[in-house]
């Protein structure tokens, strides 16, 4: 069977899983859920390239979305990306199973594309992380053979989805690739480590350069360790929940009904059976170093995932020692290589029982991940739905585009996340910074329970005291280059000349004084948005990283990708991905 034909059943299966999981999310409109924000006309803004002085958390994923927006409407670009995650995950995991039978390969693909990790991260809106996750089995296979001719080039292409996803996706995939490469290379481990590090660093340059060269530096904030630590979402505690590929820090993004003692116990049996099948097979096959590397990466990922919950003091110390260790705070995402191992093990388990059981019984085992997590279906039980942006937002964008006077936009309420009525009151990161064509200043501080992670935007920090006070705001906003104030959410009908809305504390930061925005002109008033214009703002430039160095980083990364494609036989989608290393005859 040729490579393309071998991948086709898994691709169709992944497409079916994606259609089933997304459901109402595929209707016309946009899915807005926590960090998942797509807009009708994404632009190549300074924020998209990480040039505004904030941490480049959405570099280069926002640029990728903008590129897709050149050829597709924004809503269809989002649906294409979400479906591609399920297709890539199913195809890549299926290709990793060393079996000529179709059912074991599909079992691995189904398990990898439909599990608690995917469900929780999808509800959390982290499509960029899931894009890297989808290609992780290919990364494992390419890293295991990096010392072979063309190995580095193949690893570049396998890591490309993670590179698009950005720092979190590439941190997970890069660490996995490093461990697999070092373990699999044997006596060539130094060469493998150097090549892997070079590839990962080369693909990381767009966000690495802009992040480390921002004038305010990388914050060494240790307060968020407990906030983003893994938590138990099953009866088996934190470690047990992580072993079952759950344990996300945000309790609101756990699928409905997940963690019930009966289904959790059955899922635990499937996971343990898959791990046992993998271990038995690996031992009998001569303890191949490539698969040993995968096991080592899965174990290391599990340890990192539990670190914030079991040893928060150690993680805080590491972050204080070097701020870069903050990438380990959201530890649950590092269970991704364990998901690869579980999926591979389930495929091997189905391979082992297929000759002993009726095909129907083996098929039921292959579909166990779907049966034990039914609430991922139909848009995660209706929690992922497509909606249309209000017409007032479109009019606001037109007003800003037609205004020749430069200046930025301040967004109120002074908080990062919204629960819009027109979005079914589902929580989402404020879309206005991506929707509007100007630089948007908003409070990007994140509050988790009683813990608040401070804002990272230098412009927001300078305005924080003024907005949180009681005095007039217009002079302070004008001095910081603010031309417009956008008040969104259900308080948009508030009249700034009338003081605090009846029965409400009022918009965060505009409290207790009827003239805080006196002098600002109301240019748009609607149920969903209030837009005010401030006359004669000062010109204030962002204190971002050097544009020349950021451009050089993009050029270097694009050159690396072009180099990886310059050899015949190296393709974006591999024909096969065995981990076995060819042994020379004695």
pLDDT above 90 coverage of the chain, percent: 78
Alpha helices in 213-328 (DSSP H): 224-227, 237-243, 261-284, 289-310, 312-321
Could you tell me the end-to-end alpha-carbon distance of the chain, in angstroms, rounded to an integer? 31
H helix and E strand count, the chain? 25, 11
Q: How far is 461 from 452, CA to CA, in rounded Å?
A: 14
CA-to-CA dists, residue 117 to 244, 407, 422, angstroms: 9, 42, 28
pLDDT over 50 at 497, yes or no: no
The size of the chain, in residues, is: 586
State both tokens at 377.
């279906």
What tens digit of pLDDT does each residue of 11-56 get? 999 999 999 999 999 999 999 999 999 999 999 999 999 999 888 9
Looking at the DSSP bridge assignments, the partners of residue 429 are 417
| Residue 499 reports pLDDT greater than 60 | no
What is the rounded (10 degree) CA torsion for 49, 53, 57, 63? -10
Question: Is residue 272 predicted with pLDDT exceeding 60?
Answer: yes
**Cβ(142)–Cβ(570) below 8 Å:** no
Beta-carbon neighbour count of residue 56 at 10 Å?
Answer: 27
DSSP letters, 465-486, are HHHHSSS--HHHHHHTTEEEEE
- Answer whether residue 572 shows pLDDT above 80: no
- Listed residue (184, 193, 368, 203) closest to 272, CA to CA: 368
pLDDT at site 502: 32
DSSP three-state, residue 19: helix
Identify the pLDDT of residue 471. 85
pTM (2 decimals)?
A: 0.94
Rounded to the nearest integer, the mean pLDDT of the chain is 90
477 contacts: CB under 8 Å, gap ≥ 6 = 410, 463, 466, 485, 534, 537
d(CA 170, CA 200): 8
Distance CA 230, CA 236 (A): 13
What confidence score (pLDDT) does residue 2 get? 52
* Number of Cβ within a 10 Å radius of residue 401: 10
Q: Residue 580's pLDDT is what?
A: 57
Average pLDDT over residues 377-385: 97
- Token pair, residue 562, equals 């072009």
In this predicted structure, the answer to whether residue 511 has a pLDDT above a threshold of 70 is no
CA atoms within 13 A on the CB side of 285: 16
Rounded to an integer, what distance in angstroms lies between the CA atom of residue 303 and that of residue 482?
A: 46
Span 411-432, pLDDT tens digits: 999 999 999 999 999 999 999 9
| Burial label, 16 (beta-carbon count in 10 A; 0-12, 13-18, 19+) | middle
**CA–CA separation, 103 and 106 (whole Å):** 5
* Average pLDDT for 159-186: 97
Q: What is the pLDDT of residues 512-563, one digit of tens each?
A: 344 688 889 999 999 899 999 999 999 998 888 999 999 999 999 999 999 9
């Amino acid at each position: 069977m040729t490579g393309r034909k071998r991948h086709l059943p898994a691709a169709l299966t992944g497409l079916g899983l994606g259609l089933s999981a997304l459901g109402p999310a595929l209707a016309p409109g946009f899915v807005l859920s926590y960090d998942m924000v797509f807009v009708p006309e994404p632009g190549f803004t300074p924020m998209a390239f990480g040039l505004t002085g904030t941490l480049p958390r959405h570099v280069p994923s926002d640029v990728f979305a903008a590129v897709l927006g050149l050829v597709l409407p924004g809503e269809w670009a989002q649906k294409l990306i979400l479906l591609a995650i399920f297709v890539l995950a199913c195809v890549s995991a299926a290709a990793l199973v060393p079996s000529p039978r179709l059912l074991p390969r599909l079992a691995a693909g189904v398990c990898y594309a439909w599990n608690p990790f995917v469900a929780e991260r999808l509800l959390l809106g982290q499509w960029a992380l899931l894009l890297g996750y989808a290609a992780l089995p290919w990364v494992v296979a390419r890293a295991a053979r990096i010392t072979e001719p063309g190995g580095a080039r193949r690893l570049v292409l396998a890591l490309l989805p993670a590179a698009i996803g950005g720092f979190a996706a590439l941190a997970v995939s890069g660490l996995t690739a490093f461990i697999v490469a070092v373990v699999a290379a044997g006596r060539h481990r130094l060469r493998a480590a150097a090549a892997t590090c070079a590839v990962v660093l080369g693909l990381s340059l767009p966000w690495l350069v802009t992040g480390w060269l921002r004038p305010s530096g990388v914050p060494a904030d240790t307060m968020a360790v407990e906030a983003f630590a893994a938590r138990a979402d099953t009866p088996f505690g934190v470690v047990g929940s992580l072993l079952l590929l759950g344990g996300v820090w945000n309790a609101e993004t756990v699928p409905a009904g997940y963690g019930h003692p009966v289904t959790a116990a059955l899922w635990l049996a499937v996971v343990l059976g898959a791990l046992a099948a993998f271990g038995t097979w690996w031992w009998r096959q001569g303890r191949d170093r490539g698969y040993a590397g995968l096991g080592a990466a899965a174990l290391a990922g599990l340890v990192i995932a539990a670190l914030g919950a079991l040893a928060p003091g150690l993680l805080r110390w590491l972050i204080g020692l070097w701020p870069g260790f903050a990438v380990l705070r959201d530890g649950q995402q590092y269970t991704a290589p364990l998901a690869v191992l579980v999926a591979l093990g389930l495929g091997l388990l189905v391979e082992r029982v297929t000759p002993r059981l009726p095909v129907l019984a083996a098929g039921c085992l292959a579909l166990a991940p779907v049966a034990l997590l039914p609430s991922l279906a139909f848009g995660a039980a209706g929690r992922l739905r497509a909606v249309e942006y209000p017409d007032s937002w479109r009019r606001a964008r037109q007003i800003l585009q037609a205004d020749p006077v430069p200046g930025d936009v301040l967004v109120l309420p002074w908080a990062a996340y919204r629960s819009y009525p027109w979005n079914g009151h589902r929580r989402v990161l404020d879309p206005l910074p991506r929707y509007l064509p100007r630089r948007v200043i908003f409070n990007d501080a994140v509050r988790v329970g009683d813990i608040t992670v401070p804002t990272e935007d230098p412009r927001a920090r300078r305005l924080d005291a003024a907005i949180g006070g009681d005095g007039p705001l217009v002079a302070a906003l004008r001095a910081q280059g603010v031309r417009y104030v956008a008040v969104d959410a259900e308080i948009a009908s508030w009249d700034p000349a009338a003081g605090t809305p009846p029965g409400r504390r009022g918009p965060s930061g505009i409290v207790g004084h009827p003239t805080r925005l006196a002098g600002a002109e109301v240019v748009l008033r609607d149920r969903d948005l209030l837009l005010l214009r401030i006359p004669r703002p000062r010109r204030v430039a962002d204190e971002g990283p050097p544009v020349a160095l950021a451009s050089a980083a993009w050029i270097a990364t694009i050159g690396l990708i072009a180099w990886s494609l310059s050899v015949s036989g190296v393709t974006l989608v591999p024909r096969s991905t065995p981990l076995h290393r060819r042994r020379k005859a004695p």
